[in-house]
C-alpha cells in the first residue's frame, strides 16, 4: 500500500516522479524511464504541456488522425480526429467518401444559447420575491457591465435572466436562470463570472429591500455555475439521396438496405439498451473532433446524453426515414463549442487542427463536429445491417493484437496476409503466430 504524502504539489517534477516510482512500483527505475520516455525533447513545449494541469509528470499520447473528403454545405473538409479506438477514423473516412458523391452533408446551426444558474434558498413569500426580482432585474445587467462589455462588442452577452420557482421540488429553492450568447468562445469563465456577480447583486439588494422581513433579507446562495445541458445550443445535420443511389459493393438491394437501416434506427429510438451503444458510436466521431480542437469532450458528453433523455426515456440521437423514394438520415444535437480561448490558443496541435478546418467560427465547428458524429453512426449502422460490425473493426484492430507479441517484420507481413482472407480474433492471431514460430 502506498504511503500518504504531504505537500506533494510543492515537490519538483523530478521529486514527484521519484516519489511515485518508489512508492508504487516494484521496479522504480523502469517506471521512471517509461514516464520520462514520453517527455518532449523541446523543453519549452514540454513546459507548456506541464502547465495545462496540476502535478504533471509526463505526457499521455493519443493518435491524431485525419478523415478526408467531408463535403459539408458544399465545402470540402479534412477533419482531424484524436482517438485511441481502431476503425473509427477509417469508418468516418468511408462515410465521408460515400456521401461526397451523393450531395454531401447538410448542416445548420439552429440556435446557440448557453445557460447558467444561481441556485438559492429564500424563506419567504414567493410573490414578494417575484416583485423584488422584477424591480432589480436591470441591476443584474448593469452590475455585470464590466464583465460583458468585450463580449458585447463581439455580438454576445447576457440575453435574459429569469426567476424560477422550484419550491415544489425542494423546499424554499429558487433559481436565477440566465441565457448567454458567447460567440466563438465556449464561454465557461465568462458565464461563471457573470453568475457570481448576479449572486452578489441578489444578496446585496435583498438586504436593503424594504418590504422583506429580516428572514427574507437573508437569501442563502448555494452555488453559481453554468450548465452543460444546452438544449438551445443545437445543430442539425443530415444526408439524403434517392434510395437507388445507396447501391454500392455491399449493398446490392438498396431498397432492402434502406428499410433495414431505418428499422435499426427505430430500434435505437425505442430500446434504451440499444440506444446507449448507438449513441456511443455517434460520440466516437464527435469526441474525437472535440478533443482535436481543444474543446471539453466531458461537457459535450454530459449535455448530449441529457438531451437524449429529454423525453424521460433515453433514446437515439439520430433518425432515419424513407419517403417518396428518398432516404434521409439526420440528427439534431446540442454542442457548446469554442474556437477561441482555452487550449485553442495554447496547444500547438489544436492550432493545427483548427487551421486544417479553415479556422472555423464556433457555429461552423458545431456543424463539422456534428457531421463527424452522423458519419460515424452511418458507418456503424451500414456495417451492422450488412456484413456485421466485427469484420471491419477486427481487421483494423489487427495491428493492436500483433503489437502485443514480439514478432519480426517478416512474421508481421505473413500475419497480415493471412488475415486478409481469414476472420480476425485474438485467439486466431495467437494460434497463427504460434504456428509461424514453430
Domain residue ranges of the chain, discontinuous segments joined by +: 8-50, 64-111+234-387, 114-226, 393-437
The Cα–Cα gap between 330 and 181 comes to: 26
Task: Please state, in angstroms and rounded to a whole number, the distance separating the CA atoms of residues 109 and 99.
Answer: 20
Catalytic residue IDs: 85, 280, 296, 393
Q: Which residues contact 237 (CB under 8 A, 6 or more apart)?
A: 105, 106, 107, 108, 330, 331, 333, 367, 370, 371, 373, 374
Sign, CA torsion 294/291/77/241 = negative
- Topology (CATH level 3) of domain 64-111+234-387: 3.90.770
* pLDDT tens track, the chain, 438 positions: 677 899 999 999 999 999 999 999 999 999 999 999 999 999 999 999 999 999 999 999 999 999 999 999 999 999 999 999 989 999 999 999 999 999 999 999 999 999 999 999 999 999 999 999 999 999 999 999 999 999 999 999 999 999 999 999 999 999 999 999 999 999 999 999 999 999 999 999 999 999 999 999 999 999 999 999 999 999 999 999 999 999 998 899 999 999 999 999 999 999 999 999 999 999 999 999 999 999 999 999 999 999 999 999 999 999 999 999 999 999 999 999 999 988 888 999 999 999 999 999 999 999 999 999 999 999 999 999 997 655 555 555 676 677 777 777 777 777 777 777 777 777 777 777 777 777
Instruction: State residue 274's pLDDT score.
Output: 98
Would 64-111+234-387 and 114-226 be classified into the same CATH topology? no
**Under 8 Å CB-to-CB from 210, ≥6 apart: which residues?**
none
CA distance linking residue 187 with residue 184, whole number of Å: 8
Q: What are phi and psi of 239, to 5 degrees?
A: -130, 150
Quote the Cα angle for 265-257-419, to 5°. Answer: 95
Residue 199: C-alpha distances to residues 64, 75, 110, 332 (Å): 42, 45, 31, 34
Q: Would you state the pLDDT for residue 388?
A: 63
Other CB atoms within 10 Å distance of the CB of residue 29:
9
Main-chain dihedrals φ then ψ at residue 172, nearest 5 degrees:
65, 20
Q: Are 118 and 186 in contact (CB under 8 A)?
A: no
Q: What is the dihedral of CA 401, 405, 408, 414, to 10 degrees?
A: -40
pTM for the predicted model, two decimal places: 0.88
Cell triple for residue 438? 514453430
Q: What is the 3-state secondary structure (H, E, C) of 331-390?
A: EEEECCCCCECHHHHCCHHHHHHHHHCCCCCHHHHHHHHHHHHHHHHHHHHHHHCCCCHH
Which residues are CB-contacts of 166 (< 8 A; sequence separation ≥ 6)?
173, 174, 175
DSSP state of 247: -
Give the pLDDT of residue 435.
Answer: 79
114-226: which CATH number, 3.40.50.800, 3.30.420.40, 3.30.70.420, 3.30.1370.100? 3.30.70.420
Q: What is the per-residue pLDDT for 392?
A: 54
How many residues does this entry show for the chain? 438
Task: Look at residue 271 and give its three-state secondary structure.
Answer: coil
Rounded CA-CA distance 429/400 in Å is 11
Q: What is the pLDDT of residue 394?
A: 58
Amino acid at each position: 500500500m502506498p504511503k500518504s504524502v504531504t505537500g506533494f504539489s510543492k515537490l519538483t517534477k523530478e521529486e514527484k516522479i521519484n516519489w511515485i516510482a518508489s512508492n508504487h512500483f516494484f521496479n522504480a527505475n523502469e517506471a521512471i524511464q517509461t514516464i520520462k520516455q514520453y517527455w518532449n525533447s523541446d523543453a519549452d513545449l514540454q513546459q507548456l504541456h506541464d502547465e495545462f494541469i496540476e502535478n504533471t509528470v509526463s505526457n499521455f499520447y493519443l493518435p491524431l488522425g485525419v478523415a478526408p473528403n467531408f463535403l459539408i454545405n458544399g465545402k470540402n473538409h479534412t477533419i482531424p480526429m484524436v482517438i485511441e479506438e481502431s476503425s473509427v477514423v477509417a469508418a468516418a473516412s468511408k462515410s465521408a467518401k460515400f456521401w461526397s458523391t451523393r450531395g454531401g452533408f447538410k448542416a445548420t446551426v439552429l440556435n446557440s444559447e448557453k445557460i447558467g444558474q444561481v441556485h438559492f434558498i429564500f424563506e419567504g413569500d414567493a410573490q414578494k420575491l417575484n416583485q423584488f426580482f422584477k424591480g432589480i432585474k436591470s441591476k443584474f445587467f448593469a452590475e455585470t457591465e464590466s464583465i460583458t462589455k468585450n463580449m458585447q462588442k463581439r455580438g454576445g452577452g447576457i440575453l435574459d435572466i429569469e426567476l424560477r420557482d422550484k419550491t415544489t421540488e425542494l423546499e424554499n429553492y429558487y433559481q436565477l436562470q440566465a441565457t448567454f450568447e458567447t460567440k466563438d468562445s465556449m464561454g465557461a469563465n465568462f458565464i461563471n463570472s457573470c453568475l457570481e456577480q448576479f449572486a452578489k447583486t441578489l444578496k446585496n439588494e435583498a438586504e436593503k429591500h424594504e418590504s422583506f422581513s429580516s428572514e427574507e433579507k437573508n437569501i442563502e446562495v448555494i452555488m453559481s455555475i453554468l450548465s452543460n445541458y444546452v438544449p438551445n445550443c443545437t445543430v442539425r445535420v443530415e444526408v439524403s439521396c434517392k434510395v437507388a443511389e445507396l447501391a454500392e459493393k455491399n449493398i446490392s438491394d438498396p431498397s432492402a438496405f434502406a428499410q433495414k437501416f431505418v428499422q435499426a434506427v427505430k430500434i435505437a429510438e425505442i430500446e434504451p439498451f440499444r440506444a446507449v451503444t448507438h449513441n456511443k458510436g455517434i460520440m466516437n466521431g464527435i469526441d474525437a473532433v472535440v478533443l482535436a480542437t481543444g474543446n471539453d469532450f466531458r461537457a459535450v458528453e454530459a449535455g448530449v446524453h441529457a438531451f437524449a433523455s429529454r423525453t424521460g426515456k433515453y433514446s437515439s440521437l439520430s433518425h432515419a426515414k424513407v419517403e417518396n423514394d428518398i432516404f434521409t438520415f439526420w440528427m439534431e444535437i446540442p454542442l457548446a463549442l469554442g474556437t477561441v480561448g482555452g487550449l485553442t490558443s495554447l496547444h500547438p496541435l489544436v492550432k493545427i487542427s483548427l487551421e486544417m478546418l479553415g479556422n472555423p467560427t464556433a457555429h461552423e465547428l458545431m456543424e463539422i463536429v456534428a457531421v463527424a458524429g452522423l458519419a460515424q453512426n452511418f458507418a456503424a449502422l451500414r456495417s451492422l445491417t450488412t456484413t456485421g460490425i466485427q469484420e471491419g473493426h477486427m481487421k483494423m484492430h489487427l495491428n493492436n493484437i500483433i503489437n502485443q507479441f514480439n514478432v519480426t517484420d517478416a512474421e508481421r507481413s505473413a500475419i497480415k496476409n493471412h488475415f486478409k482472407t481469414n476472420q480476425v480474433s485474438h485467439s486466431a492471431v495467437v494460434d497463427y503466430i504460434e504456428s509461424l514460430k514453430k
